[in-house]
Amino acid sequence: MSRERAHSAWKSAEAIKTISDRVIGIGPFGVGLDGLLTWVPVAGTVYSIGGALFLLFEALRAGVGMATFLRMVFYLLVDSGSSAVPILGSAVDFLWQGHMLAATALQKDIEDRHGAPEDVSPKKRTRKKGPSKFAH
């Protein structure tokens, strides 16, 4: 797995985190397109599943470990599957930041194996304690 490919997947995950779950942020809480579109029939499900598939594709492209991949699948199944339950499911989908959790898991895996992309501010990195043992 090339470091460049992994870092590209890291940046894609960051974009999905922001768009899906942090367009509007209030302290540790936020809402994005995934939460807002959950109230729009069909559109919310299409967006949620599309974002989930994109994140899983990026994980495969980056060569993440099986444990990370399975954790991402779990987060994304809860996120996308909750919309099948009327009203309560929409509330869960609005509050559950599955895309963010899955994207962060992907980023941590990449940082552990390749380090964070050099052009990413330390504030955005998932590992705050200095460079990874694999960083060049």
Residues in the chain with pLDDT < 50? Answer: 132, 135-136
Domain boundaries, position 21 = 3-114
The Cα 80–Cα 9 span in angstroms is 21
Helices (H), ranges, 29-135:
33-37, 43-62, 66-81, 88-95, 98-114
In three-state secondary structure terms, 24 is strand
Asked if residue 40 belongs to a domain, the reply is yes
Residue 129, helix vs strand vs coil:
coil
In a domain, 60, yes or no: yes
Domain annotation covers residue 17: yes
Residue 73 lies in a domain: yes
What is the Cα–Cα distance from 121 to 14, expressed in whole angstroms? 12
67 domain residue, yes or no: yes
113-123: per-residue pLDDT in tens? 998 898 887 77
pLDDT at residue number 136: 45
Instruction: Note whether residue 66 is domain-resident.
Output: yes
Model pLDDT, residue 128:
62
Q: Domain tally for the chain?
A: 1
Query: Cα–Cα distance between 98 and 26 in angstroms, integer?
Result: 18
In a domain, residue 55? The reply is yes
Residues 20-35: pLDDT tens digits? 888 887 777 778 888 8
Alpha-carbon gap, residue 110 to 2, rounded angstroms: 11
Residue 122 lies in a domain: no
**Residue 97 buriedness (CB in 10 A; 0-12 / 13-18 / 19+):** buried
pTM of the model: 0.84
